[in-house]
Structure 1
């Protein structure tokens, strides 16, 4: 491994902890004991503390008085906020990447979308979500703004922690999603104005959020209706 690729100890700890949060090994509320993590990684607590501070800044970890660091708890408002942020960030990243995407890149994106279509008959929300992330990763890979690319990645990982798969809640949305993927690729392929590409990419995520919120509000209405019926009787 070259020097340029060597991770500092704090970054090693950061990726190790973050990976366990993403995989749900460390679930919301899980207490992060610095000494135990440092022992597991064979390092001092100093880089572990730095890693946890970085994860706190990303909203993945929170500190509680007299308790210490815990994996952050989640609620629906956090999910909505992340989805809204992702629609804006990824819309911009896709637009900036569009002129730099090659023919092979677009072929790769279409191939992934084709796999997503194949899953629709025997739908697996988690597998569909994984392919969905791979599709969007291809489209933003050449983004010339590394910070923007990083922010998209962070929000995507945050969504993974907040919800295993949005499509578990709104499976019908998957059919529309793959159609919108094809539309975005076609816009890029045909050299559409970047503002049009950005709008399509942003609307794509916003539509998924709208579908989720409609489902959520429908469930709330059903619960209120059931409660009202119970009181009538």
Structure 2
């Protein structure tokens, strides 16, 4: 059954997409009137969406300026990686015994599609696919509160247009990351929850990789 979206949800998704595409950049003010006119809605749901995005750390409410896109520092990215590593590893280990063969096939499909997206330079698609990959096991994690916290934390890394100075570097980084997805898939298949938890905490979410969020 399709989830019902409120006007606030539509505005939230619109702003999030603009950040993801790089149309709204760190330090830039979000124009409430422009969004209201663009979506042909009142300013109330726009304001509600901005407040939610601010509470989730994507926007900052600056006095006398309004809501601006928050810049994620390398130190904050490292701190967030450390937290996500612990929580994502736990969520994956809890999900291990609940994954079906269909779930495993879905993750395998996303991995293959990610390789193709990287190979063709479609990095926006890569980001969406890797998000779906992680959502497979989070969807069956028995601790729903844990899964929800993780999804909110990962929103800090919403900006994913992947337009670095060196295209070869980003290809190399993303191919290496997808190799980690393949390793995770093998651990999921073997239901090796302990090793999976450690791998995700110490390798996949290694805080030293947080620099990638500023590529």
Q: Please indicate the TM-score interval, normalised by the length of the shorter structure.
A: 0.7 to 0.9
How many residues end up aligned between the 2 structures? 210
- Provide structure 1 residue ranges, at least 5 long, that are not aligned to the other structure: 217-233
Task: Give, in whole Å, the separation in 1 of the partners of 2:7 and 2:122.
Answer: 36
1:63–1:50 CA distance, 2 compared to 1 (3 A): same
Contact 2:91–2:147, Cα closer than 8 Å, also in 1: yes
Distance 1:17 1:211, change over 3 A: closer
Q: Find the counterpart in structure 2 of residue 80 from structure 1.
A: 78
In the alignment, is the contact (CA less than 8 A) between 1:30 and 1:70 conserved in 2? yes
* Separation in 2, partners of 1:100, 1:131: 21
Alignment-derived partner of residue 28 in structure 1? 26
Counterpart of 1:195?
A: 194
1:152-231 equivalences in 2 (<5 Å): 152-161=150-159, 164=162, 171-174=171-174, 176-192=176-192, 194-207=193-206, 209-211=207-209
| TM-score between the two structures when normalised by the length of structure 2 | 0.78
Structure whose alpha-carbon radius of gyration is higher: 1
CA–CA distance in 2 between the matches of 1:116 and 1:156?
19
- d(CA) in 2 for partners of 1:42 and 1:175? 41
CA gap of 1:34–1:106, structure 2 versus 1, over 3 A, is same
Alignment gaps of 5+ in structure 2 = none
SS class of match (2:95): helix
Contact map agreement 2:26 2:71 (CA 8 A) in 1: yes
Counterpart contact for 1:22–1:157, Cα < 8 Å: no
Contact 1:59/1:72 (<8 A) preserved: yes
